[in-house]
Amino acid sequence: MENQLKTIRWTARIIALAILVFGLPFYFGYGNPLPFINPNYSLWENVALAMMPIIFTGLLVGWKFEKAGGYLIVIPMMIGFLVGIMTEASFSSNMLLPLIPGVLYLVAGYKK
């Protein structure tokens, strides 16, 4: 059971690190990463820009506090999905990637 927990934790951590390494440059390379500043951005783009810092924080926090990190990833993503559905935005499948470590963090947090 302890080996399973270690595997879950390290899988989540490695995926989280990869997302941070590849995702942060794209986030900051977006131009103006502050939400609701540029009037040319759609509602979906503004919500995505608002939720990404929370998700990035969750990816980092999950290294030490799995439950908190998992919730910081999963809750903003669910809100983003709902806004995406309501605004009929074209949702990029790469936005699903942070859900993997988010769910794994929650599983590890509740297995303790």
What's residue 27's pLDDT? Answer: 82
Residue 99: pLDDT above 90? yes
Q: What torsion do the CA atoms of 65, 70, 71, 77 make, to the nearest 10 degrees?
A: 150
What's residue 20's pLDDT? Answer: 95
Q: What is the pLDDT of residues 51-80, one digit of tens each?
A: 999 999 999 999 999 999 999 999 999 998
What's residue 1's pLDDT? Answer: 76
Domain boundaries, the chain: 2-111
Token code pair at residue 32: 């103006």
What's residue 37's pLDDT? Answer: 86
Question: How far apart are alpha carbons 26 and 65 in whole angstroms?
Answer: 26
Averaged confidence pLDDT in the chain: 90
